[in-house]
Amino acid sequence: MTVTAGWYMALAASLFTIGAAGLLLRRNALVMFMSIELMLNSVNLTFVAAGRELGVLEGQLSVLFVMVVAAAEVTVGLAIIVAVFRNRATASVDELTGLRG
Amino acid sequence: MIDYHALAPELLLAGTVLAVLTVDLLRVEKYWVAVVGLFGLFLSFIPVLTLGFCDTLTFCEDTGTRFLFGESYAVDSFSLVLKALFLGSAFVAVLLSVGYLESDRFWQGEFYFLMLSSVLGAVVMASSRDLVTIFVALELVTGPTFLMAGWRKGDPRSNEAMLKFFIIGVLSAALLLFGMSLVYGTTGELTFAGIRAEAAGIRGGDLEALFTVGVLFTLLGFAFKVSAVPFHFWTPDTYEGSPTPVTAYLSVVSKTAGFVGLLAICYLAFRDATFLWGPALWVLAAASMTVGNLAALRQTNIVRLLGYSSIAQGGFILVPFGAAVAAGVTDVQLEEAFFATVTYLLIYAFMNLGAFAVIIAGGNRLRSAEIGDWAGMFGYAPGLATMLAVFFFSLAGIPPLAGWFAKFVMFRAVLSVGGGWAAALAIIAAVNSVIAFVYYAKVVKSAFMDPAPEHVAVADLARMPTVPSLQFALVLTVAGVIVLGIFPGIIAEIGELTKTFASGF
Amino acid sequence: MLDQYFGDYITVAAFIAVGALLVGGGMFASSLLRPDKPTKVKSETYECGIDPVGGGWSQSHIRYYIFALLFLIFDVEAVFIFPWAVRIEDFAAAGLGGFIFVEMVIFIVILLLGLVYAIRKGVLRWE
């Protein structure tokens, strides 16, 4: 059996779903954050698989940009979590209920 | 070789960003950082003008639409108009921030650095014509705003606003990217022109389902960015918790950037897929208007009220998109819809920035954002109360203030399409305009008619001056709202220029 | 080609198996010979010294995070230098070498400005 681009797409879609489920179900900001990273990486897999299938470089090129943007987001995100943790000593989003209405 | 004239606004703005960072390192008073930032914004505005009036200038070679980096980056009348809007709005947003940041112990240098980086993203966004560029631009717009939302580091409410905004922002980026990767996978193209050409061959083929999913995920990502209902729940919390100048920035520049991306991607890349995005955006438009307005009715906090109001305004901006739902919509009708959206965005920027300027000025005096505390403002600050009335009535769409023209072109676009669905959307929009008037008028009535509450020290408040930078911002926006309302021809002319964009390349 | 590739892995697997056998055999042989008298004291982490107190987790200094964040962002920016380094010779051959070189210099100067900023703000000082 040969592994075609379709299988990579299916894998990427599964990873994306796992990430989305993790984001919706988990309540720890760090774990939610890791779920988002999983979603972004599944996108990378789709890009690479599509680029490989079509025989063009743009897919891999896009991945470089996604990686750097993801890293910038990680930096911002961890800084935010550290800032919140300093005030609250918790990383659970369930305790953030000050703003409602 | 690279056309440096076409890139000059971006290059100058990027230079300003670095200059701001460097000035922050020098041992000077921190407001100099803002001065450098304002000067840089003004400087980058000049090439936008020279590019716009290229055909009348002797030194400039008019080449029509300038494409750079293949077809990934276009400098045309649409992108120039939007660049001017972003630079102008950012100018006002910096003016709003100066007084606020000076009033307390905030990190100032970094704030302007982040805000200008975000503006750079918005300016790049207006020219982006491929998926990767638009994604990088969108992330450059939102990335710094996460941090700006939490600028009051010690305040738990600001923390909460920041964390919620961040998680939703990154989630929407992931959804958007997933959609983009599927669109790329099925069409094999990153540029909008290429996607449009390839998309025609996909209809009825094996890949059609995958392409549809890609388009819908892309729209979903943008729906979060422009806070359309049902993806709006982060908006009121983030708007209330953030420092008010940041809220003003978010509701105008960041939101407009989202709409610009949506315009470019819908009208260029997915031009022949109106049957996909038309119905989806019809639903979002109707839901945003209704939910936004109904929720705004029962708000007691004025910032939160404007948060819901901006969701509802977002719905009005989406209405022309939704009009594309009709089968067999023609190019002329799409151009009209495009014109309506751009015009609405231009006017919305003036009136919403103005409304926030009033709220910041009032908040400085009262130290409260509760509408009850704003009662009787006319008694001790008649100028401020009058401006509150001007901006709120403009948002409600009362002639002769600019807002009426925005609503007028919006209705004209949707009615020109005709058909049951477009008519239904027009009726929903009309009902919502009435609901919106109720809550805008309620605040104005309270400021003019009701007596001031007892705990408000009227005599002290009457003597408090408004910060000069804030006065400047108020004058700019008030002039804009009144002049554009009385002479809507100006904005119509600018909108006309962008129409050619909608007819494709 | 592919057989050769997997053949190398068989060699690695054989070495792992032999290694495991030697260590496992030695321990088995010594367990047959030595006396076996387990006590509570013997199963503690250290037979001498103070008893371990507190949890296994401890907070690290906040500076670790700032260093980690700075490292992360500079590290990933290097991704953009790779394609440039691979392609620069082709551009040089086409007569665009100077232009492409200056582009990268600008990129690195911007990164350096970020580093200078971090140093001036005292983030990299470890006290």
User: Helix, strand, or coil here: B299?
Assistant: coil
Q: Is B18 on the interface with C (CB under 8 A)?
A: yes
Interface touch C120/B22, C-beta < 8 Å: no
Chain C residues 52-111 within an 8 A CB cutoff of chain B: 110
Distance in angstroms between the alpha carbons of the first and the last residue of chain A = 56
- What b-and-e string marks burial along B117-150, b requiring 16 or more CB atoms within 10 Å of the CB? bbbbbbbbbbbbbbbbbbbbbbbbbbbbbbbbbb
Decide if C88 is inside a domain: yes
Name the β-bridge partners of B67: B74
Per-residue pLDDT at B487: 87
Lowest mean pLDDT among A8-17, B285-294, B462-471: B462-471
Name the β-bridge partners of B73: B68, B128
Q: What is the pLDDT of residues B358-405, one digit of tens each?
A: 988 888 887 777 888 888 888 888 888 889 899 999 998 888 888 888
Cα–Cα dist B340/B502, whole Å: 12
Is residue A47's pLDDT more than 80?
Answer: yes
Is residue B189's pLDDT more than 90?
Answer: no
Interface touch B163/A40, C-beta < 8 Å: no
> What is the count of structural domains for chain C?
2
Which pLDDT band, with edges at 50, 70 and 90, does B336 fall under? Answer: confident
Cα–Cα dist B150/B374, whole Å: 26
Q: Which residues in chain A have Cβ-Cβ distances shorter than 8 Å to B178?
A: 16, 39, 42-43, 46
Q: Is B25 on the interface with C (CB under 8 A)?
A: yes
> What is the count of structural domains for chain A?
1
Name the β-bridge partners of B66: B75
Interface touch C110/B18, C-beta < 8 Å: yes
- Tell me which of B496 and B438 has the higher pLDDT: B438
Interface touch C117/B18, C-beta < 8 Å: no
Tell me the residue range of the domain where A62 lies: 27-90
Average pLDDT, chain B: 86
Tokens 């994604």 sit at which residue? Answer: B135
Interface touch C69/A75, C-beta < 8 Å: yes
Is residue A89's pLDDT more than 60?
Answer: yes
Q: Which residues in chain B have Cβ-Cβ distances shorter than 8 Å to A79?
A: 147
Per-residue pLDDT at B505: 43
Q: What percent of chain B has pLDDT over 70?
A: 97
Closest approach of chain B CAs to the CA of C72, in angstroms? Answer: 16
Is residue B204's pLDDT more than 80?
Answer: no
CATH number, domain containing residue A35: 1.10.287.3510
Q: Is A67 on the interface with C (CB under 8 A)?
A: yes
Tell me the range of B124-128, B402-406, B421-425, C18-22 where mean pLDDT is highest. Answer: C18-22
- Tell me which of B351 and C126 has the higher pLDDT: B351
Is residue C45's pLDDT more than 70?
Answer: no
- Tell me which of A60 and A96 has the higher pLDDT: A60
C23 and C70 both lie in a single domain: no
Q: What is the pLDDT of residues B253-269, one digit of tens each?
A: 999 999 999 988 888 88
Q: Please state the pTM of the whole predicted model.
A: 0.87
Is residue B200's pLDDT more than 90?
Answer: no
Per-residue pLDDT at A45: 92
Q: What is the pLDDT of residues B241-252, one digit of tens each?
A: 888 899 999 999
Span A14-28, mean pLDDT?
89
Q: What is the pLDDT of residues B158-171, one digit of tens each?
A: 888 888 889 889 88
Q: What percent of chain C has pLDDT over 70?
A: 81
- ipTM value: 0.90
Cis peptide bond upstream of B9, omega within 30: no
Interface touch C72/A82, C-beta < 8 Å: no
Decide if C95 is inside a domain: yes
- Tell me which of B68 and C85 has the higher pLDDT: C85
What the block records as the tokens of B123 is: 């300016």
Q: What is the pLDDT of residues C56-71, one digit of tens each?
A: 666 666 667 778 888 8
Lowest mean pLDDT among B319-328, B383-392, C43-52: C43-52
Per-residue pLDDT at C60: 65
Tell me the residue range of the domain where C27 lies: 1-34
Handedness of CA B495, B500, B502, B505 (dihedral sign): negative
What the block records as the tokens of B183 is: 């669109």
- Tell me which of B303 and B105 has the higher pLDDT: B303
Is residue A93's pLDDT more than 70?
Answer: no
Per-residue pLDDT at B122: 94
The long-range contacts involving B409-413, CB below 8 angstroms and separated by at least 24 positions, are B409/B339, B409/B340, B409/B343, B409/B344, B409/B492, B409/B495, B410/B316, B410/B317, B410/B319, B410/B320, B410/B340, B410/B344, B412/B336, B412/B340, B413/B319, B413/B320, B413/B323, B413/B333, B413/B336, B413/B337, B413/B339, B413/B340
Handedness of CA B249, B232, B327, B276 (dihedral sign): positive
Is residue C46's pLDDT more than 70?
Answer: no
Chains that touch A (3 or more CB pairs under 8 A): B, C
Which among C65, C68, C76 is the nearest to A68, CB-wise?
Answer: C76
Q: Is C15 on the interface with A (CB under 8 A)?
A: no
What the block records as the tokens of B402 is: 């600019």
Name the β-bridge partners of A28: A92
Decide if C56 is inside a domain: no
Contacts of B375 (CB under 8 A, 6+ apart): B446, B447, B450, B451, B452, B453
Largest CA distance in chain C: 80
Q: What are phi and psi of B66, to 5 degrees?
A: -100, 125
User: Helix, strand, or coil here: B59?
Assistant: coil
Q: Which residues in chain B have Cβ-Cβ distances shorter than 8 Å to C113?
A: 18, 21-22
Per-residue pLDDT at B256: 93
Q: Exposed, middle or buried: residue C40 (CB in 10 Å: 0-12, 13-18, 19+)?
A: exposed
Cα–Cα dist B289/B429, whole Å: 7
Q: Which residues in chain C have Cβ-Cβ distances shorter than 8 Å to A67?
A: 76, 79
Per-residue pLDDT at B468: 83
Interface touch C116/B25, C-beta < 8 Å: yes
Cα–Cα dist B177/A44, whole Å: 9
Q: What percent of chain B has pLDDT over 90?
A: 27
Interface touch C73/A71, C-beta < 8 Å: yes
Q: Is B209 on the interface with C (CB under 8 A)?
A: no
Lowest mean pLDDT among B58-67, B231-240, C115-124: B58-67
Is residue B71's pLDDT more than 90?
Answer: no
